[in-house]
Amino acid sequence: MQNTRQPLTVSDLTRKIKQILESGFPSIAVQGEISNFKHHSSGHLYFTLKDEGAQLPCVMWRSRASVLPFVPEDGMKVIAGGRITVYEVRGSYQLDVQSIRPLGAGELQAAFEQLKQKLGSEGLFDRDRKRALPEIPRRIGVVTSPTGAVLQDMKNVFRRRFPGIELILNPVRVQGSGAAAEIAAALDDFSRFGEVDLVIVARGGGSLEDLWAFNEEIVARAIARCRVPVVSAVGHETDFTIADFVADLRAPTPSAAAEMAVPDRRELLENVADSWYRIKQAVVDIVSNQKERIHNLLNSYAFNRPVDILRQHSQHVDEVLRALHRVAGHAFALTSTRQRSLDQRLMALDPRLALKRGYAIVRKDGSIVNSARQLHGRDAIDVEFQDGTVRSTID
């Protein structure tokens, strides 16, 4: 029987297949071994995933390949995450790879060493870029799973050591596909927030594969560009991740990170009390020493010498004053004696005393007449006696 349906073009059929495949497998993870690996000059990666019974063409575009934490190699067993797409030109399907992580311990360790060497050569592990933690932080950001025991263990340590600390949790997945991107985004969130003094990135123990999110380059670079110090507390004491090397401080466990991040309140109070006592004792000693110095100074010869000199000068002034009084008294007495002698002499020369003895003073025209030849007949004269003056005429 002849098929009466309208035939499809190759392109129409390919598009229908493309639609069915791409909508049916939007996000998958495929495990296999890499073969035919090619790093194109464009930056894209082309390879095949295969197992014992089949193979799958894969492509990883340059934007994702540039941040891959390791270099894929033929024979490496990996888990590739992505979506199925159809390359219409060839009519073949392929895996559009968005992430790759090594599958076996050997491959994981090789990828770890590759990224460690790469970031180390860029200086991300250098000691001189490590920042010191604040001595007494007010607010701490925590990047970890909200459901694990890690968060509760850290809370218990903070509550015991420094009850007043404020914790801000940015919850993330710490394992599996997409965990690294969430951790990096959480670190960037705290950088933009700018209200925390430090950030702790924490996770409990596990295998190398379990901890792999903290070995990815996107997390390492987010730690490096974080604006506040970052403490890495991933796994147990024997576990090391790339995050540990980039972080400003590595803690062997999340609980140890909490202890390293804040001081012990009791020790802090003891230190304050001890400092207060030592400062008080130092002040008491200083005051006592200064009192003794002042006492010695007040009693010293050098300090009292000016007073002694002043007293001597005061005594000398008293002696000079007494001498001046004596000299002035003697001079005054001598002057008084001389004055009395002069007074007596002046009194002796007083013409009024002669008038009392019977003498008289003759004046002519107001002038004293001391010779008879000065007088002529009919001259008017004044004769002064002891008790008065009479007017007379020379006859």
Amino acid at 292: E
- 88 and 150 housed in the same domain: no
| Mean pLDDT by groups of 10 residues along the chain of 395 residues | 72 87 86 91 92 92 82 86 89 90 76 88 93 94 93 94 93 90 96 94 87 92 96 88 95 94 88 89 91 84 74 83 87 87 78 74 84 82 83 85
Q: What is the 3-state secondary structure (H, E, C) of 45-57?
A: EEEEEECCCCEEE
In a domain, 247, yes or no: yes
Q: Is 75 left (phi over 0), alpha (psi -120 to 50) or beta?
A: left
pLDDT computed for residue 4 by the predictor: 58
Asked if the structure places residue 295 within a domain, the reply is yes
257 plus 151 within the same structural domain: yes
Residue 128 in domain: no
- The answer to whether residue 115 is domain-embedded is no
What's the pLDDT score for residue 1? 47
Q: Which tokens sit at 143?
A: 């990047």
Q: What is the CATH number of the domain that holds 52?
A: 2.40.50.140
Residue-number span of the structural domain to which 150 is assigned: 137-262
173 inside domain? yes
Q: What is the pLDDT of residue 294?
A: 87
Do 49 and 160 share a domain, yes or no? no
57 shares its domain with 85: yes
Q: Which strand ranges, in their side-by-side order, compose the sheet holding 388-393?
A: 367-368, 361-364, 380-385, 388-393
Task: Tell me how crowded residue 381 is: count the other CB atoms within 10 A of its CB.
Answer: 16
Q: Does residue 59 belong to any structural domain of this protein? A: yes
Q: Are residues 203 and 286 located together in one domain of the fold?
A: no
Confidence (pTM): 0.54
Task: Say whether both 275 and 166 belong to one domain.
Answer: no
Count the domains in the chain. Answer: 4
Residues 283 and 383 in one domain: no
256 and 155 together in one domain: yes
Structure tokens at 237: 């004491």
CB neighbourhood size of 350 (10 A) = 10
Q: Which residue has the tokens 């082309």?
A: 46
Per-residue model confidence (pLDDT) at position 55: 92
Residue 5 lies in a domain: no
Q: Which of 59, 77, 103 is the last residue of a domain?
A: 103
- Predicted pLDDT at 176: 84
Q: Which residues of 92-115 are buried (b: 16+ CB within 10 A; e: fewer)?
A: ebbbbbbbbbbbeeebbebbbeeb
Q: Residues 150, 72: one domain?
A: no
Whole-angstrom distance, CA of residue 319 vs CA of residue 139? 83
Residue 327 belongs to a domain: no
User: Are residues 255 and 143 part of one domain?
Assistant: yes
> Same domain, yes or no, for 66 and 99?
yes
pLDDT of residue 385: 81
- 248 and 275 belong to one structural domain: no
Residue 39 Cα distances to 90, 278, 299, angstroms: 21, 69, 95
Name the domain boundary from 238, 262, 286.
Answer: 262
